[in-house]
Amino acid sequence: MKFAVKAWSNCKARTGCLQLGNCPTAIDTPALLLSTCKGLPNFISPDLLPSLPSPDSHLLQFSPLHFLEGPSLKTISSIGGLQHLLGLHEYVFAAVARDSVQCLPECNASNKFGASFETTCGRRLIKPVEYVELISSMRPDIWASLADEVPSWVSDKRNKTSVDRTVRWLDECINLNSTGGAIFGAIVGGNDMEERQRCALEVVKRNVSGYWIGGFGLGESIDERPALLDAVTDVLPEELPRMICGLGLPEEILQGIAAGVDLFDSAYIYHLTLGGFALTFPLNGIAEKRPDTHLNDDASDRTKINLRATLYRKDTSPILEGCNCYACLNHTKAYINHLLNVHEMLAQILLEIHNTHHYLGFFRSIREAIKAGKFQQYHQKFVEGRRNHLALPAAAINS
């Protein structure tokens, strides 16, 4: 793995370039890692993947714990690892135990031996040695060390323990590693700035290829997050990539980028898709100021629309005018509305394609803003656009 930071905006936000063995072209950061179920996107079959922007869509994140059921590790290993198992030779795989969808940390059941997760095959305690075995058979390009992630409300004592364990498990992972994949050291510390920093400083001492920031999206408020993120990224060396888990909303992504994070997961897209939502926010970061024509319509909050709404029953326009994804080039809102009404799988296929396409476009426009040195303005405009929107209904009531 090669990583180089290419430019900083007028703040900590940075754009870089990630080069990995199998992907023919380098991938620019900040970048989105596509969420997967057992290595494939939830609904986008491999023959439809190339319709997404390339190489932007070539980073896939998976949880090795998805394979606690299924082919034996020996079989996966003999096939040649995940890339071969999935037939995705020009894609980059990043392994993270937690996936925010089917594999969630269960801190009460974690102990000094390993981390506990709620998975599709029940609650499982995973020890570092077992985790590394999974990793070794799957041979991801990047993998995060095992972390003891805790939600924001745990006691200081429990939070300290989580940092101690995570650092100890990182050492075990490094010692056991035999894959050649790039290890990203896990950084936790919950809502405690000092613990966050202590963890980051310990991880920085280790021989890692990058950093994985865990313990977010677990109950902390969006307002306290920037300080916590800064506490971590302030002590990280600039030259290594930083991946984060648990930030999904556009505003959260922007927070992460503002703190200097490079890689993000996309469980958000999965949840949107299941809910029948399609992303529609403008990518230039400037939310139009004109009064919303659908002011009283709860189908839209200006970042997304809900295609289940009866409003779209006869709407023959694409999800988003000007979007050139497969769904928008081929289908109408009315059709997707029908598919959702009758519970047809094609609805999720089309929505996942559009949402992924749109979010990759969002990342691209962020990178352009950083390169132009205008990330802060971009960030501010985006947040203001949202605030204006939220203020609009109140204004309408008052008038």
Partner 1 sequence: MALRFEIMGRFNRARAAQLTLPHFTCQTPLFMPVGTQGTIKGLTTQQLEEIGCQIILGNTYHLALRPTSELIDELGGLHKFMNWPRAMLTDSGGFQMVSLLHLADITEKGVTFQSPVDGKPMLLTPEESIQIQNRIGADIIMALDDVVRTTITGPRIEEAMYRTLRWIDRCIAAHKRPHEQNLFGIVQGGLDPVLRDICVRGLVDRNLPGYAIGGLAGGEDKDSFWRVVAQCTASLPEDKPRYVMGVGYPLDIVVCSALGADMYDCVYPTRTARFGTALIPEGVLKLKHQVMADDTRPIDPTCDCMVCRNYTRAYIHCLVTKYAMGSQLLSYHNLYYMMKLSRDLHSSIVQGQFPEFVRKFLQRMFPQGDVPQWVCNAMEVAGIDISSCCAPFTTRNTVFSDEISSLKPQNSCKNPSAT
**Does the annotation flag 328 for ligand binding?**
yes
Q: Residues binding Zn ion: what is the number (CB under 5 A)?
A: 4
Q: Which of 313, 390, 391, 395 binds partner 1 (CB under 8 A)?
A: 313
Residue 330 contacts partner 1 per CB under 8 A: yes
Q: Which of 160, 354, 379, 386 binds Zn ion (CB under 5 A)?
A: 354
Residue 101 contacts Zn ion per CB under 5 A: no
Residue 122 contacts partner 1 per CB under 8 A: no
User: What's the distance, Cα to Cα, between the start and end of the chain in Å?
Assistant: 58
Q: Give the C-alpha separation, 130 to 96, whole Å.
A: 14
Q: Which of 245, 267, 272, 349 binds partner 1 (CB under 8 A)?
A: 349
Q: Which of 187, 328, 339, 360 binds Zn ion (CB under 5 A)?
A: 328
Q: Where are the beta strands (DSSP E) in the chain?
A: 2-8, 14-19, 27-29, 31-32, 34-37, 40-41, 59-62, 92-95, 104-105, 115-119, 122-126, 142-144, 182-187, 210-213, 242-244, 263-264, 277-279, 304-306
Binding mask 268-307 for Zn ion (x = CB under 5 A): ----------------------------------------
323 touches, from Zn ion, partner 1, none (C-beta below 5 to 8 Å by class): Zn ion
Burial of 151 (0-12, 13-18, 19+ CB in 10 A): middle
325 touches, from Zn ion, partner 1, none (C-beta below 5 to 8 Å by class): Zn ion
Q: Which of 10, 21, 46, 239 binds partner 1 (CB under 8 A)?
A: 46
**Does the annotation flag 338 for ligand binding?**
no
Instruction: Give the nearer residue to partner 1 in terms of CB position, either 216 or 335.
Output: 335
Comparing C-alpha atoms, which of 175, 247, 236, 234 is closest to residue 211? Answer: 236
Q: Give the C-alpha separation, 369 to 62, whole Å.
A: 29
Whether 292 and 392 have beta carbons less than 8 Å apart is answered as yes
Residue 386 contacts Zn ion per CB under 5 A: no
Question: Among 70-78, 126-134, 229-237, 364-372, which window interacts with partner 1 (CB under 8 A)?
Answer: 70-78
Comparing C-alpha atoms, which of 132, 160, 144 is closest to residue 213? Answer: 144
Least distance from partner 1 to the Cβ atom of residue 299, Å: 17
48 touches, from Zn ion, partner 1, none (C-beta below 5 to 8 Å by class): partner 1
DSSP one-letter code for 57: G
Let me know the angle formed at the C-alpha of 382 by 381 and 386, rounded to the nearest 5 degrees. 110
Whether 220 and 189 have beta carbons less than 8 Å apart is answered as no
Q: Residue 385: what are its φ and ψ, rounded to 5°?
A: -55, -40
Amino acid making up residue 6: K
Instruction: Give me the residues paired with residue 183 across strands.
Output: 143
Residue 311 contacts partner 1 per CB under 8 A: no
309 touches, from Zn ion, partner 1, none (C-beta below 5 to 8 Å by class): none
Whether 103 and 110 have beta carbons less than 8 Å apart is answered as no
Residue 228 contacts Zn ion per CB under 5 A: no
**Does the annotation flag 358 for ligand binding?**
no
Rg (CA), the chain: 21
Least distance from partner 1 to the Cβ atom of residue 323, Å: 16
Q: Which of 1, 11, 79, 235 binds partner 1 (CB under 8 A)?
A: 79
Whether 150 and 190 have beta carbons less than 8 Å apart is answered as yes
Q: Which of 325, 336, 349, 351 binds Zn ion (CB under 5 A)?
A: 325
Comparing C-alpha atoms, which of 23, 4, 7, 1 is closest to residue 257? Answer: 7
Q: Which of 1, 5, 8, 71 binds partner 1 (CB under 8 A)?
A: 71
Residue 341 contacts partner 1 per CB under 8 A: yes
Known binding residues: 323, 325, 328, 354
Task: Report the interface residues with partner 1, using CB under 8 A.
Answer: 37-38, 40, 42-43, 45-48, 67, 69-72, 74-75, 78-79, 85-87, 120, 313-314, 316, 326, 330-332, 334-335, 338-339, 341-342, 344-346, 348-350
Known binding residues for Zn(2+): 323, 325, 328, 354
